[in-house]
Amino acid sequence: MIIYKENSHVTKKNLQQLYSSVNWTAYTNNLDVLEKACNNSLSVITAWHSEHLIGLIRVIGDGYTIMYVQDILVEPAFQNQKIGTTLMNKILSQYKDVRQKVLLTEDAADIRHFYEKFGFKSCDEGSTVAFYREF
């Protein structure tokens, strides 16, 4: 049975296990920063199987005019079980009145399909442009 929790504190140990399971090592290189980032986000919804963190969605922004999906991830052993869909539906219903809902992700057909089913459109379609800068 999967339990979903909103805005509960997530430990470094749980974060390291989950983020490592999907090879997001840029995050796990500094667990102190990851823990602070998660616990200071606008909203975090987690998915748990017993005491094991198996999924997470994290949103930053002001919650009124913009919300940005910073992270959504599900441990590989639990993927394709609608956990990511449930996390996204929960966050979108929480911020249904926010006009700008934004995210950045890698370009792959299955990833595009996942976000498009929630009404997200790629900036390469239409008149919107996106910019980003990495250091």
**pLDDT band of 121, cuts 50, 70, 90:** confident
Give, as one character, the DSSP assignment of residue 77.
G
Q: Which fold has domain 2-103?
A: Aminopeptidase (3.40.630)
For residue 109, the model assigns a pLDDT of: 76
- pLDDT tens across 11-26, in order? 999 999 999 999 999 9
pLDDT in tens, 81-117: 999 999 999 999 999 999 999 998 887 778 888 999 9
In the chain, what are the domain boundaries?
A: 2-103
Pairwise CA distance, residues 62 & 130, whole Å: 19
pLDDT tens digit sequence for 37-46: 999 999 999 9
Q: What is the average pLDDT score of the chain? A: 92
How far apart CA 50 and CA 52 sit, in angstroms, is: 6
